[in-house]
Structure 1
Amino acid sequence: MTQLNFTGTLGRFDFNHWSYHIPVPDDVAAQMMDDNHRRVLVWIKESGPYHMALMKAKECWYVLVNQELRKKLDLEEEKVIAVKIERDHSEFGHVLPEEFQVLLDQDEEGNDYFRKLTPGKQRGLVYIVTTVKNPESRMKKSLAILHHLKLAKGKLDYKQLNILIKHYNNI
């Protein structure tokens, strides 16, 4: 796995709420992706890896940096920061939690609906489970997701999914 190091600065776009980003040099971005793959692992100030996507603006390639990460790493605009980047070879752009994997292995119908989703929707559902630290809560979210996929015949409805997640959390 090729890791590349560079120094960057936290920048800010003026056009939307996803404005904080770290520009990635063109030569680095070119080595991290191909036509079908823009997912990367990023270390910022020796902290990480963080699963991110290379994005393109008119003037540069970049990775988005959310508020939680900015606060955690005490990142300020225009200050130089050390960045390390490597291609993300994980199947879903996040590590698949064991609880979710076990349920996918056991539930053929739920697994089938999950695998038919777009990679972005799969990644989003995996992310919903990874944000929880407690194994029991990860299991409940995983159960709710598979239950929702089966009820909705594979059509994601996030409003309905959130209702099911709340239901499973109260069981």
Structure 2
Amino acid sequence: MAVDFETRIHKLEHLAGFYLEIPSDIVQKLGGLNNRLICTANQSLSWQCGLAALGNGSAYITFASPKMKKLKVKEGDTVHVSLQHDHSDYGAKMPVELQEVLDQDDEGNRRFHKMAAGKQRYIMTYISDIKSGQLRIERAVRIIENIKRLTEGKEKFADFMKVK
């Protein structure tokens, strides 16, 4: 079941970027903040996302500049939004390069899958954001090797992203 509504593009004051405001009644219809969603803007651009609390029961979804460029919209514009629950395994797309590394490294695979879902998604996005396939492989290998060096259950973003 999709939830459709209109909202405006706002600037994130505390971060460099923009967001789509999700009114409190929509947040309630979706079952609260702790949901992974698929957002479709203006019926043409879809991505996996989550809700972040904005206050007064409302929430927001980050809306990056490349998405705004694709839709030819700017801060203050109104956007048609459709949200539906994301039932995928991770709530993000698993990069082929990371999956290959995990398939070949039993300990790395085990450690990756013991991490919190948010950390898994962050790693997947961090690898996916690279255009070069070779660099995606190198980054996946480096991150999994770093994770294996850290104390299990104590992994922090800054530690497993370091270049070693």
Structure 2 gap ranges (5+): none
Shift of residue 125, structure 1, vs aligned partner: 0.7
SS of match in other structure, 1:126: helix
Cα distance in structure 2, aligned partners of 1:160 and 1:57? 29
Aligned to 1:43: 40
CA contact (8 A) 2:41 2:80 kept: yes
Offset of residue 126 of structure 1: 1.0
Distance 2:17 2:146 in 1: 33
Query: How many residues matched?
Result: 161
Q: In 2 relative to 1, CA 29–18 (structure 1 residues): closer, same or farther, beyond 3 Å?
A: farther
Which runs of 5 or more residues in structure 1 are unaligned? 165-171
What is aligned with 1:61?
59
Aligned to 2:8: 9
What is the aligned-residue RMSD (CA, Å)? 2.4
Return the TM-score normalized by structure 2.
0.81
Aligned-partner Cα distance in 2 for 1:159–1:55: 24
Q: Kindly state the Cα deviation for residue 76 of structure 1 after the two structures are TM-superposed.
A: 2.3
Give the equivalent residue in structure 2 for 1:127: 125
Q: How far apart, in 2, do the equivalents of 1:57 and 1:157 lie?
A: 24
List per-residue Cα deviations over 1:61-113 (Å, max 9, x = no partner).
Answer: 22122233333333223322111111122232211112212221221111121
Question: What are the within-5 Å matches in structure 2 for residues 1-171 of structure 1?
Answer: 2-12=1-11, 14=13, 16-17=14-15, 20-33=18-31, 37-59=34-56, 60-154=58-152, 155-156=155-156, 158=158, 161-164=161-164
CA distance in 1, matches of 2:149, 2:76: 48
User: Deviation at 1:159?
Assistant: 5.8
Query: Which TM-score applies when normalising by structure 1?
Result: 0.78
Query: How far apart, in 1, do the equivalents of 2:90 and 2:160 lie?
Result: 23
Identity value in percent: 22
